[in-house]
A = this chain, B = another copy of it.
C-alpha cells in the first residue's frame, strides 16, 4: 500500500478529525486499545483522537525513562488529566540506565533506548494487556525516512518483540501517517490541546540522552537537565526553531575561589530553521549569551565553561549525539 501525503493546505481539520475518530471506532469495535504518550505533538495528538473514539477502552501509558526534562512526566500527565484523559506513569528509569551503562557511541545509545522502550517496557505492557490494538503516532516524515533507510519504524510489532505467529490478531493503527509536522500541529490545535503541546519545539526521541556526550548516567543526565531548564527559560522568548544544552565529556581547566578547577563544559545551541534539514545558529545578543554562561556556571555544579555553537547545518547537525 502506497501512503499518500495529505498536505496542510489540503487538510479540512474538522473533517479529518471526524474521519479518524470514525475509523478508530470502526477498527477497534468493542475491543480495547493501548498507546504510549511521550508528550510530543505526535503522541499527544494520537492520544486525543483515540480517547475521543474509545474513551475508557483506551489505555495510555507514559514511560518515564529517566531521560526527560525537569518535572516533565508529572507535567504531561497533569495536563492530560485536566483534559479528562487518564495516563499511567510507568517508572522504567532503572531499566533504561542499566541499558545505557558504559555506552558512548551515539548510534549504540539510540539503539539501547529503542530496544529498552519497545522490548523491555512497552512490549511487555502490550503483551500483559487485553488490548490487541496499538495506536502509534507514525507520521509521513517517518514513512519517507523508512524508505530512505534512515530509520526503521515500519515494523513496530517486530520491535515490540511480537513475532508474526504470536502476533496473530494484533493490529497497529497509525492515524497521522499521511501528515507532516505542520499539519499535525494544526490537528493538535483543532483538538483543543494546549499551546505548549501544539507549539512544542522538536525534542529528540532519546530525550536528554541525546544531550550527553559520553556515557549516560543518572548524575550526568541530572546536570544536563539543569542546563536544559536554564536554556529553555532564557531562550523560549526568542521564537527560535530549537534550543538545547549539551554536556561534553571533555574536561577543561577553570577557576573557583582562586583555585584550579578541572571542570565540565556545556555547549549551547540555538537554531533558526524551517524544516530541520538546514539550519543556522541564531544571532543571539551577547547579553543573552553572557547571562546563559553566568547562570549555567553558577547553577549547574561542576561546570566551569559554556560555549555557543556557531556552525551551520550542514556540516553540523541540530543535535550533537
Q: How many monomers of this chain does the complex have?
A: 2
Please determine whether A315 and B250 come into contact, CB atoms closer than 8 angstroms.
Answer: no
A264 to B268, CA, bound (A): 17
* Interface residue tally for chain A (C-beta within 8 Å): 43
**Cα distance, A297 to B313, chains bound together (Å):** 11
Given A250-B248, A252-B320, does the pair A305, B314 have CB atoms closer than 8 Å?
Answer: no
Q: Does A213 sit at the interface, judged by CB under 8 A?
A: yes
Q: Is A262 an interface residue (CB 8 A)?
A: yes
When distances are taken between beta carbons in the complex, the residues of chain B under 8 Å from A320 are: 252-253, 305
Q: What's the nearest-Cβ distance from chain B to residue A51, in Å?
A: 37
Interface string of A262-299 (1 = CB under 8 A from B): 11000110000000000001010010011011100100
CB distance from A245 to the nearest CB of B (A): 12
A315 and B262 form a contact (CB under 8 A): no
Within 8 A of B (CB), among A160-191: none
Whether B283 pairs with A312 at a CB distance below 8 angstroms is no
Query: Is A304 within 8 A of B311, CB to CB?
Result: yes
Q: Which residues of A contact B (CB under 8 A)?
A: 106, 213-214, 248-256, 261-263, 267-268, 281, 283, 286, 289-290, 292-294, 297, 304-317, 319-321
Known contacts A213-B252, A305-B309; 18 further A-B pairs (Cβ under 8 A): A106-B253, A106-B262, A255-B314, A255-B316, A256-B314, A281-B290, A283-B286, A289-B310, A290-B310, A293-B311, A293-B312, A294-B312, A297-B315, A304-B311, A305-B316, A306-B309, A307-B311, A308-B310
